[in-house]
Amino acid sequence: MLSTGLPLAEPVVRDVPIHGNPRQVPVRQIVIHATGGPDCDPSRSFRGGSLEGIVGHFQRNRKRISIHYIIGRTGEVVRMVPETRVAFHVRGHNADSIGIELVNDGDGRDPFTEPQIEALVMLLRDLLARHQLDGAALKSHAELDDSELVCGGRRLKRKVDPGATFPWERIRAALKE
């Protein structure tokens, strides 16, 4: 059972230089990501990193990517882009979504931690209530981005996060409590 009756702690706020204009349409989706993922270089594939490393990556990235929230392995929540602004986190769905990154390899072997799941549920409860959404608004990055990359002649799905072992049923059940 998740101990989600606690009030949502104020997330730590970090500035990120890359984000879009003020949001012009209501939030309709909340997209769950994992920080790791496939790469043609096997030494870099599925490495989720640390919270501070990921925060630093978003602060200095040059690829025009950004995210609203990051949740570390011990449950820390960092807000990178205000919800009133568009973040660049999923192709074709940025204008009407909020993005949440979970520090995780996203490979199906790296477990999501209890504190991370509890923090995610608390954040989702808050977001769903404030944006008047239900559980159907939750999406995985994988279901919204079907792009591929070619590695040594093989075609791989570019985005597989948050990964096969993400506890969707558990999250949805906790949100109904």
Burial 86-113 (b: 16+ CB within 10 A, else e): bbbbbeebbeebbbbbbbbbbbeebebb
Give pLDDT, residue 57: 84
Give pLDDT, residue 4: 35
| C-beta of residue 145 within 8 angstroms of C-beta of residue 158 | yes
Compute the distance between CA of residue 26 and CA of residue 157 in angstroms, rounded to an integer. Answer: 29
Give pLDDT, residue 60: 82
Compute the distance between CA of residue 80 and CA of residue 140 in angstroms, rounded to an integer. Answer: 19
Give pLDDT, residue 17: 63
Residues in the chain with pLDDT values less than 70: 1-11, 13-18, 38-47, 156-159
| Domain 12-176 class in CATH | alpha beta
Number of residues assigned to the chain: 177
Helix (H, G, I), strand (E, B) or coil at 60: helix
For residue 142 the two structure tokens come to 């994988």
Compute the distance between CA of residue 17 and CA of residue 3 in angstroms, rounded to an integer. Answer: 35
Domain parsing of the chain, residue ranges: 12-176
